[in-house]
Amino acid sequence: MVITRPQIETALKTIIDPVTNEDYITSKALCDIQIKQNDVTVMIELGYPARSVLETIRQQVKQALQAIPGIGAISVRVDINIDAHSAQRSLKLLPGVKNIIAVASGKGGVGKSATAVNLALALAAEGATVGLLDADIYGPSQPQMLGVTDRPDSPDGKTIEPIRVHGIQMMSIGLLIDVETPMVWRGPMVTQALQQLLNDTRWQDLDYLVIDLPPGTGDIQLTLAQKIPVTGAVIVTTPQDIALLDARKGLKMFEKVGIPILGIVENMSLHTCSQCGHTEPIFGTGGGEKMCRDYNVELLGSLPLDIRIREHTDSGKPTVAAEPDSQISEIYRLIARRVAARISRLTKDNSAVFAQIIMEDD
């Protein structure tokens, strides 16, 4: 019996990608099929970083192909290829940055900054090249969370080298001022500072730049929406009704300016007592899921109210870096894979493949 390509494609259509929930034919992840005397080589190309599940996917594909009668040796190769994707209003992408992820919340105190830094570290842990920009000019927290005290270098007096820490590149206004210096600036100065931090930092070949936004829907968010090429936004909330009320405002703001909502992260969803093991929903239940249903967006993941998340960020080594094999880190990595997979399904930016036309006088 001769093995044919349609047989292989039929087998692959029975497998569901654990991240995208699509089969590899529908998602166009099948890159190539080679058949030689019933020995088969299949190449899968994922559009999102997935280092921790690559072997699972390989075994998943191999097991499906083994069910084909008469098949010989099976080789499965799974690669990762992260593309640049278009931003709102056809804004040009930043040099050295393929995709920008805005992490936002409608109000403070919901764990947005801790989520942003762990999301960045999780994307890097899954195999992407990642940067983190602390866009909270009034209250920068990422230097503390990442344990960074060094001032960034400026090789030419105009641009800034990002700080490299825990495998990511990062920049914050907190690295350029004294830790106790208050930023007594009006809105225009704040938005200008954000643009300078973003555009004057020498980001190096980033697959993703995660921007940790200040809470609310003010000047910085408006500047981000109008002048910065954002690929998509992640909304962080707790199940509490008052937090959800403000989170909905943040979500609607991004919708109005044409920035895709990548999904919602529900933080502090459950608390387990370290003494007795009793688990209870301190801030309520089901709020994130209801918001997702109301706006037809994805619930990217739910994180517990856990003292370790606070302890790790306070100590300058967030959970994904401090305890990479913990259950909490696995939740962050799952959220990272889902965010990246959601981006992979957006419209790609093809400006780099078009030839430039240069007019010259004779």
Binding-site annotation: residue ranges for ATP: 106-113
Q: Is 210 helix (H, G, I), strand (E, B) or coil?
A: strand
Between CA 290 and CA 311 the distance in angstroms is 30
Q: Report CA torsion sign: 316, 138, 109, 113.
A: negative
Query: Binding site residues, as ranges?
Result: 106-113
Share of the chain residues as helix, strand and coil, in percent rounded to the nearest 5: 35, 20, 45
Between CA 207 and CA 286 the distance in angstroms is 33
The Cβ-side half-sphere exposure at 178, using a 13 Å CA radius, reads: 3
What burial class does residue 77 get, using C-beta atoms within 10 Å of its C-beta: 0-12 exposed, 13-18 middle, 19+ buried? middle
Name the DSSP letter for residue 94: P
Between CA 291 and CA 112 the distance in angstroms is 17
The Cβ-side half-sphere exposure at 139, using a 13 Å CA radius, reads: 7
**Token code pair at residue 206:** 């980033």
Residue type at position 133 = L
Listed in sequence order, the residues at least 6 apart from 267 whose beta carbon sits closer than 8 Å to its beta carbon are: 110, 111, 112, 114, 115, 236, 237, 238, 302, 303, 305
**CB-based contact 17:338 (threshold 8 Å):** no
Between CA 286 and CA 170 the distance in angstroms is 34
Of 104, 52, 96, nearest to 259 (Cα)? 104
**At 280, phi and psi to the nearest 5?**
-145, 150
β partners of residue 134? 172, 212
